[in-house]
A and B are shown apart, each in its own frame.
Chain A
Amino acid sequence: MMNIFNYIERRSPIHAMTGASKLVCLLLWSFGAMSSFDPRFLFALFVLALVLFKISKIRVADIRFMLWFTFVFCLLNNLLIFLFSPMHGTEIYGSCHEIFHIAGRYTLTQEQLLYHLNVFLKYAATIPIVLLFVTTTDPSEFASSLNRIGVNYKIAYSVALALRYIPDIQREYHDITLSLQARGVEMSKKASLGARLKTASGTLVPLILSSMDRIEVISNAMELRSFGKNKKRTWYRYRKFTAWDFGAMLLGLAVLLISVVLTAFVNHGRYFNPFV
């Protein structure tokens, strides 16, 4: 069974931090990186993220699979942007410095390149932080972290429950598929899309119906142990914040503040524009 949350147990200061502070840092950081299109800032975030990675003792080999996914995704997205809107940079920056003409309506411009650089850097600045969060946070701590940053505890617990039952449902789905294959159900490439979807639904029916029964039994089990009785709840995995936790939250806040300052006072907008 694969570890869906990709938690990698190591001893590092980042592992030792609470999930809540890492989550706060992640959210502030992503928001800061998302709102700014200043490549200098984004590059600085990328470098900083690499430093944090070093501290966490997570190696590239550990996450090669995820990095590969992300890279392909990023490349495809950039390609699509260029195909659909080769002059998107010009629209944004309001100028046009042509490098060379490719064919038809496709011309490579400095503005377009800068825009693509920004998109690449956005991935580079945020993905490492997401990966860092995912690989260093014990799933058990995730729900309590959500609750700590203000999410209603019942909803936070539903995230924990989802993580709890994903492996069970996955195993059940696998068993159902095998038994249906024996009956002759096949996902053939030759069949029409509609036929394929019908076949897939046939596999889903037993899975869904047994999941519906599961909902009933689990909610009984939870009510019998007082879930939902009080306005609040405590968490077994709760830990006190340490200096590192405050540091992480301050770091996130700093990233967001710098992003805001850059937008409001330096670049006078989301874009750093070297063309004017």
Chain B
Amino acid sequence: MKNTPVKSIVAIAIGAALFFVCGRFVAIPSPVPNTNISIQYGVLALFGAAFGPFVALLAGFIGHALIDFSYGWGIWWSWVIASAVFGLVIGISKNHVKLATEKFDGKRIVTFNIYQIVAHVLAWVVVAPILDIVMYAEPWNKVFLQGFVAALANIVTTAIVGTILCVAYSATKPKKDSLEKK
């Protein structure tokens, strides 16, 4: 199957819908009361690795904005943008991870995880807090601590969920020279 432009658009939509469903309805009890385990970043990481930065950026942005809309607490733009940044950065891993053509193991798992760590740090420790300060004039120590906690939780989540999803997805892709009729 070719990656046509229409396919990218549909991937954005389905990515955003999955991000929404995971973020809104998948409840995973976390050790800290009243905090959410954001399993949706594992899904977004897979979309980034499979479809690239453009799809993952928009899927993250739209999915997160829809979650905010559906809760009605207003759109928390700084965090919506941070989700998009995460999608963008993890999307760059596509050409290094090559889920569709190569086996996803050892080295590629490490590469994928380095990307997701960098992406989360950039999104939650740099972008989100700075935007919070600029847009909402919040105290810096509060926003950086929030960002740090979010980054840590999301890195752990993505390391497990994202990696498992990538392994499963990669296994469904026929590898080179394997499509001959027996």
Contact = CB atoms under 8 A, between A and B. Distances in A.
Determine whether A and B are in direct contact in the complex, meaning some CB atoms lie less than 8 angstroms apart.
Answer: yes
A4 B66 contact: yes
A68 to B, nearest CB: 10
A106 interface: no
Contacts of B146: 80
Interface string B23-60: 01111111100000101001100100010000000100
Given A5-B69, A193-B30, A208 B18 contact: yes
Contacts of A211: 14, 18
Nearest to A223: B6
A264 interface: no
Contact of B141 (A69, A85, A92, A169): A85
A185 interface: no
A158 B139 CA distance: 36
B4 interface: yes
A168 B69 CA distance: 19
A170 interface: yes
Contacts of A119: 136
Contacts of A189: 29
Which of B31, B58, B164 lies at the interface centre, i.e. has the most chain A CB atoms within 10 A of its CB? B164
B33 to A, nearest CB: 12
Contacts of A5: 69-70
B73 A134 contact: no
B72 A158 contact: no
A205 B168 CA distance: 7
Interface stretch (A95-103, A124-132, A236-244): A124-132
Contacts of A228: 5-6, 9
Interface stretch (B81-89, B108-116, B118-126, B154-162): B154-162
Contact of A70 (B24, B63, B72): B72
B164 A162 contact: no
Contacts of B16: 158-159, 162
Dominant secondary structure of chain A at its interface with chain B = helix
Nearest to A131: B72
B13 A209 contact: no
A63 interface: yes
A127 B18 CA distance: 26
A66 B73 contact: yes
Given A169-B21, A219-B7, A223-B6, A197 B160 contact: yes
Contacts of A209: 168-169, 172
Interface residues of B, number: 60
Contact of B165 (A4, A127, A208, A270): A208
A50 to B, nearest CB: 16
B117 interface: no
Chain A contact patch, size range = 35 or more
Contact of B46 (A30, A92, A170, A208): A208
Nearest to A91: B139
B29 A204 contact: no
B72 A222 contact: no
Contacts of A148: none
Interface string A171-199: 00100000000000001010001101110
A227 B5 CA distance: 10
Interface of A: 4-6, 30, 34, 37, 63, 66-67, 69-70, 73-74, 80-81, 83-85, 88, 91-92, 119, 122-123, 126-127, 130-131, 134, 154-155, 157-166, 169-170, 173, 187, 189, 193-194, 196-198, 200-202, 204-205, 207-209, 211-212, 214-216, 218-219, 222-223, 227-228, 270
27 contacts: A66-B71, A83-B142, A84-B142, A84-B145, A85-B139, A119-B136, A130-B73, A130-B74, A158-B16, A158-B58, A161-B9, A161-B13, A162-B16, A162-B66, A169-B17, A187-B29, A194-B156, A197-B28, A198-B164, A200-B26, A201-B42, A201-B160, A208-B46, A209-B168, A219-B6, A219-B9, A219-B10
